[in-house]
Amino acid sequence: MPSILVVDDDPPQREIVGVILEGEGYRVETAGGGRAALKAYRRDSFDVVLTDLKMPDLAGDALLDALIREDPAACVIMMTAHGTIASAVEAMKKGAFDYLTKPIDRDALLMTVRRAADRVSLVRENRRLKEELEDRFRIENLVGSSGRMDEVRQMIRRLAPTPSTVLITGESGTGKEIVARAVHFASPRRGGPFRVINCAAIPETLLESELFGYERGAFTGAAAAHPGLFEAAQGGTVLLDEIGEMPLPMQAKILRVLQEKEVRRVGGNTPLTVDVRILAATNRDLERDMRTGRFRADLYYRLCGLVIPLPPLRERSTDVPELAEHFLARHNRENPDRRILGITPAAMERLVQFPWPGNVRQLQSAIERAVVLSSGDWIDIKDLPAEIRERPISIGQVDFEIPDEGFSFEGFEREIIFKALRKSDGVVARAARLLGMSYRTLQYRLEKFAIKKEP
């Protein structure tokens, strides 16, 4: 039951209010003045404070100020005689929840207190959900105990507390977004908003108004002014996802935000100061894009100072069992009636050996699929997607023969490439050398075999 502090210098008055509330099951404590109330609140923060306005030692409005200063979520109801309604209204402007007029009417009292208690529990619930979210994106929740992931965690810890822009690079599905969230929640901005904009998913014509907002009448259909993403993220962090896909004119505007910390709404004249930290992510080779003129050099140099490079999964295959178990455990938590006991050693071996062109995301969807397909308590080889399940085609140096039933050239090509990658510990440049092809050709083929992610 909610706890309530009743403050009044008139003993019978606080007695009556206290008794009514106790009769409804509230836990009530009383105080004879503002100072005593403040002391009681510091000792045991109450859900709701009901206070008289006129009191000799510390008046109700001063008590309200002090409470809100110490606890912005404090819920205070003023009790006032007719003559002082104006000051009660004044108190509401300063953040009081509501006011009651004396003599206190029982029904009005109970109704107002109930509304206040409801709001308090809503605020609490919100805070709990927010903390849960923060928890989920804590650095410690990044799965993988390989040295490479340790390095990533160390970089996040080092860079998170700074206000600097950080570029997160890595192939598709390596965890760029989850790392960006970890940076935000490990930073002093964790209480502020975290917003993501996918520069590749938004048409060029809409990108500017999404990011910067627009004034009323800025274009047909702009019936009301609209704040952009940077404004909405005030006090927090913005992730510019797939920044490599950003059109050149927008790149110039982003550079200005980075330099001036100002945005200008579309159709607006006055610049607005924004306090946001900017993170950027890309799976493109921005340096190459810069050289070919696809990416502005000034923006590139601004971004490339602090980089968190995320290694592809094939370069840290020791993380595969942990990740697979992690996704399985998540499935079990969400589907308690269809629990899977584990992954058989044979299936796990295939998972570890597979070079995962789609990285962690591909592993995640492979596990999710296997869970649905498996008929027993364990995930076995037969439950894995075909490309992972298939045994590598064995080819001798000289005596390779095409089987009577024919074979898939693509599958063959893939196996050769994966074999080369395994032999070179996942380092693409080395695998390319083994296969006698250029880095770019191999990269292109890898992209071809990557599972395309959902939009």
Ligand X SMILES: Nc1ncnc2c1ncn2[C@@H]1O[C@H](COP(=O)(O)OP(=O)(O)OP(=O)(O)O)[C@@H](O)[C@H]1O
Task: List residues near Mg ion by CB under 5 A.
Answer: 176-177
Exposed, middle or buried by CB within 10 Å (0-12, 13-18, 19+), for 427?
A: middle
Which of 8, 245 has the CB closer to Mg ion?
245
Which of 326, 414 has the CB closer to ligand X?
326
**Residue 426 interface partner, choices Mg ion, ligand X, none, CB cut-off 5-8 Å depending on type:** none
Query: How near is the Cβ of 164 to Mg ion at its closest, in Å?
Result: 21
Which of 199, 257 has the CB closer to ligand X?
199
Query: How near is the Cβ of 328 to ligand X at its closest, in Å?
Result: 12
Which of 87, 364 has the CB closer to ligand X?
364
Degrees, nearest 5: CA angle 262-268-270? 50
Query: How near is the Cβ of 178 to ligand X at its closest, in Å?
Result: 4
**Residue 361 interface partner, choices ligand X, Mg ion, none, CB cut-off 5-8 Å depending on type:** ligand X
**Residue 350 interface partner, choices Mg ion, ligand X, none, CB cut-off 5-8 Å depending on type:** none
**Residue 45 interface partner, choices ligand X, Mg ion, none, CB cut-off 5-8 Å depending on type:** none
- CA of 299: how far to CAs of 36, 196, 211, 244, 345, in Å? 58, 19, 17, 11, 48
Chain CA centroid to CA 33, Å: 45
Query: How many residues make up the chain in this entry?
Result: 455
Q: Which helix (H) or strand (E) holds 236?
A: none
Which of 63, 313 has the CB closer to ligand X?
313
Query: How near is the Cβ of 380 to ligand X at its closest, in Å?
Result: 23
Query: How near is the Cβ of 273 to ligand X at its closest, in Å?
Result: 30
Which of 65, 322 has the CB closer to ligand X?
322
Cβ atoms 48, 19 nearer than 8 A: no
Closest CA to 372 of 338, 347, 343, 345: 338
Query: How near is the Cβ of 185 to ligand X at its closest, in Å?
Result: 14
Q: Is 300 helix (H, G, I), strand (E, B) or coil?
A: helix
Query: How near is the Cβ of 297 to ligand X at its closest, in Å?
Result: 24
Which of 189, 361 has the CB closer to ligand X?
361
CA distance 341 to 173: 26
Exposed, middle or buried by CB within 10 Å (0-12, 13-18, 19+), for 230?
A: buried
**Residue 178 interface partner, choices Mg ion, ligand X, none, CB cut-off 5-8 Å depending on type:** ligand X
Alpha helices in 202-335 (DSSP H): 204-212, 229-232, 248-260, 286-291, 297-303, 320-334
**Residue 173 interface partner, choices ligand X, Mg ion, none, CB cut-off 5-8 Å depending on type:** ligand X
Cβ atoms 153, 217 nearer than 8 A: no
Burial 60-87 (b: 16+ CB within 10 A, else e): bbebbbbbbeeeeebbbbbbbeeebeeb
The set of residues, in sequence order, having a beta carbon less than 8 Å from that of 266 and lying 6+ positions away, is 208, 209, 212, 213, 214, 215, 218, 219, 222
Query: How near is the Cβ of 194 to ligand X at its closest, in Å?
Result: 13
Residue bearing tokens 């520069």: 199
Amino acid at 382: K
Which of 101, 332 has the CB closer to ligand X?
332
**Residue 143 interface partner, choices Mg ion, ligand X, none, CB cut-off 5-8 Å depending on type:** ligand X
**Residue 435 interface partner, choices ligand X, Mg ion, none, CB cut-off 5-8 Å depending on type:** none
**Residue 189 interface partner, choices ligand X, Mg ion, none, CB cut-off 5-8 Å depending on type:** none
Query: How near is the Cβ of 327 to ligand X at its closest, in Å?
Result: 8
Query: How near is the Cβ of 177 to Mg ion at its closest, in Å?
Result: 4
Which of 104, 142 has the CB closer to ligand X?
142
Q: Quote the tokens at residue 279.
A: 């993170």
Which of 177, 325 has the CB closer to ligand X?
177
Contact footprint for ligand X (CB under 6 A): 142-144, 170, 172-178, 283, 326, 360-361, 364, 453
**Residue 272 interface partner, choices Mg ion, ligand X, none, CB cut-off 5-8 Å depending on type:** none
Where on the phi/psi map is residue 4: left (φ > 0), alpha (ψ -120 to 50), or beta? beta
